[in-house]
């Protein structure tokens, strides 16, 4: 639970109120002009909702240069950001031929596989020449190659489950599979900060959805007990099925799921567990097998394991792993498998090779080195940010570390100042986060060297002083070291 300082909350509300009032005044002035000089062209009904349209025009457009920045190179430790400009106060952005070489602190390239790799890249190119870029078909209609079969076996073995199913899109893995697992008469209990794909999948299922306080096992048990006692709405019949949805690492908080406690509670109340390991698989654990390995949880106790290949494996798509009966059922019923084009063969080959590197099956120890480096880099960077006085969310070993900004004016200020000093960061605000909880989300990679991280820390520290986001006092030791450096 994030506790916002009173003054910070007050100034944040004031800033949003000012933006809202200024936007409404401009809209009112515009309506008067339209009435005085009506247009002869009658248009159709607006596609966007009034409130959404207002937010985009009056708030988002002011800072849209901080989002969707195009890049022109692989998302490695350093990448090329395309320079853009606007001649109409940020309503539209135009790309130039210029690029800016920046330190990449925004991509989910946790293990560094997104760039050219000595083992993965040649084999991915070879598979492109053999299978082409796309199967042009769903899995059930001729889109399953020998690579796809090998990938499913490889994933099942890696995560410790009897069988697995892969899809071409990580988001669709949740949104398309959850409605197949549960329907009307079932109960979904979801963490309050679960990803949008989980939320949409739960909504589309037709099941009753309850939410428990983020990562709080005691609240989960309270909700389970109340819902089991009450039964289904109106009829009070027993629930046909209960599924608890949680994430391994929460992508906006960088927190590890309290999985051992949640597993114990679900066993007690006979509820199924659905674990989303999009950000944890490959990134944490001694051999990269995710939070189950890190927290010493038997994978047999987790009924459905989901993950994506877009983070640690440098590819695309997602997977579901579980019992053979479950996976066979999903292959008959899941629309992502029945109608979606199967994952691209070169992307499948990339995933297989990345897993082999992690397991040491490439004949080297590069996988173990990558896992050790991502852990060291993450813990070093988090520790240093906290010493500087930043409010950093998340747990140790997590490569995701949000820095709290709060005030909407600090979102563009932090992003633009970092970019000016060749550091590319991702900033996040409402509606992706609650209104008061805007943040910069730093993602660390095994491809970052210690020199890269020290450079990034210096830039972020300078920008933090300039923008005013060091909400805690810096450690005295840091000031003494800075003074010694100045004297030298």
Asked if residue 41 is part of any domain, the answer here is: no
Query: What is the pTM for the complete model shown?
Result: 0.91
- Per-residue pLDDT, 1: 66
336 with 210, same domain? Answer: yes
Residues 139, 93 share a domain: no
**Tokens at 1, concatenated:** 């639970």
My answer on whether 351 and 406 are in the same domain is no
- Write out pLDDT tens, residues 139-171: 998 889 999 999 999 999 999 999 999 999 999
Average pLDDT of the residues in 217-228? 96
| Whether residue 210 is found in the same domain as residue 328 | yes
Terminal Cα distance for the chain, rounded:
43
Q: Are residues 235 and 328 in the same domain?
A: yes
Q: Final residue of a domain: which of 359, 386, 415?
A: 359
Cα–Cα distance, 62 to 269 (Å, whole number): 49
Buried b (16+ CB within 10 A) or exposed e, 67-89: eebebeeebbbbbbbeebeeeee
> Is 153 in the same domain as 264?
yes
What percent of the chain clears pLDDT 70, i.e. is strictly above it? Answer: 95
* Residue 435 pLDDT > 80: yes
Q: Dump the DSSP string for 75-128.
A: -SSEEEEEEEE-SSTTSS-EEEEEEEEEEE-SS--TTSTTS--TTHHHHHHHHH
Residue at 248 is within a domain: yes
Q: In 10 A of CB 308, how many CB atoms? A: 26
Environment class of 99 (CB within 10 Å of its CB; exposed 0-12, middle 13-18, buried 19+): middle
pLDDT in tens, 366-425: 999 999 999 999 999 999 999 999 999 999 999 999 999 999 999 999 999 999 999 999
359, 391, 419 - which closes a domain: 359
Domain-located, residue 416: yes
Give the strand pairing for 423-424 and 94-104: parallel
308/200 same-domain check: yes
Contact 191, 247 (CB under 8 A): yes
Pick the closest to residue 52 from 44, 61, 39 (CA basis): 61
Residues 127 and 248 in one domain: yes
438 and 305 share one domain = no
Please tell me the predicted confidence (pLDDT) of residue 481: 44
Residues 373 and 338 in one domain: no
CATH number at residue 297: 3.40.640.10
Chosen domain end from 326, 359, 392: 359
What is the extent of the structural domain holding 386? Answer: 6-32+51-104+368-487
Q: Is the pLDDT of residue 483 over 50?
A: no
d(CA 224, CA 206): 19
Q: Is 440 within the bounds of a domain?
A: yes
Q: Is residue 252 situated within a structural domain?
A: yes
Predicted confidence (pLDDT) per residue in 198-212, tens digit? 999 999 999 999 999
The angle at the Cα of 379, spanning 376 to 384, to the nearest 5 degrees, equals 120
Average of per-residue pLDDT across 15-33: 90
Residues in contact with 73: Cβ distance below 8 Å, sequence separation at least 6, in sequence order? 79, 80, 99
- pLDDT tens readout for residues 175-189: 999 999 999 999 999
pLDDT at 487: 41
Each residue's pLDDT tens digit, 29-84: 988 887 888 766 666 776 776 677 888 888 898 899 999 999 999 999 999 999 99
The CATH code of the domain that includes 12 is 3.90.1150.10
Question: 160 with 292: CB under 8 angstroms?
Answer: yes
- Shared domain check, 227 and 134: yes
Which of 45-59, 245-259, 274-288, 429-443 has the lowest average pLDDT?
A: 45-59
Q: Is residue 148 in some structural domain?
A: yes
pLDDT of residue 5: 83
Residue 272: predicted pLDDT:
97
- Position 475 confidence tier, pLDDT thresholds 50, 70, 90: confident
- Domain tally for the chain? 2
Query: Does the residue 112 lie in any domain?
Result: no
Note whether 147 and 238 are same-domain residues: yes
417 is a domain residue: yes
Q: What are residue 261's phi and psi, to 5 degrees?
A: -70, -40
């Amino acid at each position: 639970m994030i506790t916002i300082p009173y003054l910070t909350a007050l100034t944040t509300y004031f800033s949003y109120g000012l933006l809202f009032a200024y936007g409404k005044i401009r809209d009112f002035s515009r309506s008067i002009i339209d009435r005085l000089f009506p247009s002869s062209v009658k248009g159709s009904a607006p596609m966007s909702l009034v409130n959404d349209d207002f937010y985009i025009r009056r708030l988002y457009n002011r800072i849209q240069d901080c989002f969707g920045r195009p890049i022109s190179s692989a998302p490695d430790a350093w990448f090329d950001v395309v320079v853009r400009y606007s001649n109409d106060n940020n309503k539209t952005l135009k790309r130039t031929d210029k690029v800016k070489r920046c330190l990449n602190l925004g991509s989910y390239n946790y293990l560094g596989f997104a760039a050219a790799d000595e083992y993965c890249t040649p084999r991915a190119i070879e598979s492109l020449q053999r299978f082409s870029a796309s199967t042009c078909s769903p899995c059930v209609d001729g889109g399953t190659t020998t690579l796809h079969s090998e990938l499913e076996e490889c994933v099942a073995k890696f995560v410790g489950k009897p069988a697995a199913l892969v899809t071409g899109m990580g988001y669709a893995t949740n949104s398309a599979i959850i409605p197949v697992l549960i329907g009307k008469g079932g109960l979904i209990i979801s963490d309050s900060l679960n990803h949008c794909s989980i939320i949409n999948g739960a909504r589309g299922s037709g099941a009753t959805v309850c939410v428990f306080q983020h990562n709080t096992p005691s609240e989960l048990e309270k909700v389970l007990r109340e819902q089991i006692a009450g039964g289904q709405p109106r009829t009070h019949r027993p629930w046909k099925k209960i599924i608890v949805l949680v994430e391994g690492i929460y992508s906006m908080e960088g927190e590890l799921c309290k999985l051992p406690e949640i597993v114990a509670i679900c066993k007690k109340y006979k509820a199924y567990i659905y674990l989303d390991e999009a950000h944890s698989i490959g990134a944490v654990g001694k051999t990269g097998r995710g939070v189950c390995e890190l927290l010493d949880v038997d994978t047999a106790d987790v009924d459905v394991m989901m993950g994506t290949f877009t983070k640690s494996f440098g590819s695309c798509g997602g997977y579901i792993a579980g019992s053979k009966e479950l996976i066979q059922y999903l292959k008959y019923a899941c629309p992502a498998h029945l109608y979606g084009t199967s994952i691209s063969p070169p992307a499948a080959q990339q995933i297989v090779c990345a897993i082999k590197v992690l397991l040491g099956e490439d004949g080297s120890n590069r996988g173990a080195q990558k896992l050790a480096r991502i852990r060291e880099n993450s813990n070093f960077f988090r520790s240093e940010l906290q010493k500087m006085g930043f409010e950093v969310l998340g747990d140790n070993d997590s490569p995701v570390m949000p820095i709290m900004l709060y005030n909407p004016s600090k979102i563009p200020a932090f992003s633009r100042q970092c970019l000016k000093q060749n550091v590319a960061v991702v900033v996040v605000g409402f509606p992706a986060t609650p209104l008061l909880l805007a943040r910069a989300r730093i993602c660390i990679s095994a491809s970052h060297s210690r020199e890269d991280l020290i450079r990034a820390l210096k830039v972020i520290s300078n920008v933090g002083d300039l923008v005013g986001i060091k909400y805690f006092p810096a450690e005295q030791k840091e000031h003494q070291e800075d003074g010694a450096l100045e004297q030298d």
